Amino acid sequence: MSSIPIPEEEIGISDKKAFWSSKRIARMAIFIAMSAVGSMVKVPSPTGTVALDAAFAFFSAIAFGWREGAIVAALGHILTALTTGFPLSFLMHLFIAVQMAVYVSLFDVVAKKVHLWAGVFVAVILNGPVSSLLVIPIGGIGLAAALIIPLTIGSIINIFIAVTAYLIINKSKMV
């Protein structure tokens, strides 16, 4: 079993209004801003939208809960796509933002309910090969094949940064 503690708010004990506290909104704003900075650090890819924005979303999820991570992930991807002019269309990038929110959420759930490294594995597979395959309706097999390696490498880097930061900060009892 994982040794990652599950906050009360994640198992439904606290009031739903408490999610939108000013402290949480400010923290999400900071992580979204950091995602915007990460969106400028690109992993070479055909679309130019593979970047280090997701590290902050994965960290937010594991440290503060899946809902917070999902919001940071979705907005982080939109900011990354914005820096390259939405090369796959705004609607496709909206779809990818939803995917990112789901992937970050699943990472958090699997990491907390199964094991941290199981969550890492699930997140890399979903954010890499699965995301590549989901662009087939827009760009065909060629785009999917061209994206699979950059997306997988980008996923590994983003998740490695998030997990490393989380393990260091968690050990220091700051989170």
Percent with pLDDT over 70 in the chain: 90
Nearest alpha carbon to residue 103 among 114, 119, 118: 119
pLDDT at 53 over 70: yes
| Residue type for position 73 | A
pTM: 0.86
Please give the structure tokens belonging to residue 2.
């994982």
pLDDT at 5 over 80: no
Residue 7 clears pLDDT 70, i.e. is over it: no
Residue 16 has pLDDT above 90, yes or no: no
Q: pLDDT band for position 15 (50/70/90)? A: low
Backbone angles phi, psi at 42, to 5 degrees: -95, 150
For the chain, the three-class secondary structure string (H helix, E strand, C coil) is CCCCCCCHHHHCCCCHHHHHCHHHHHHHHHHHHHHHHHCCCECCCCCCCCECCHHHHHHHHHHHCHHHHHHHHHHHHHHHHHHCCCCCCHHHHHHHHHHHHHHHHHHHHHHHHCCHHHHHHHHHHHHHHHHHHCCHHHHHHHHHHHHHHHHHHHHHHHHHHHHHHHHHHHHCCCC
Mean pLDDT of 86-103: 93
Which domains are seen in the chain, by residue range? 20-171 (1.10.1760.20)
Torsion angle, CA of 14/173/165/76, rounded to 10 degrees?
Answer: 30
pLDDT digits (tens, 9 = 90+) for 70-86: 999 999 999 888 988 99
CA 96 from chain center: how many Å?
11
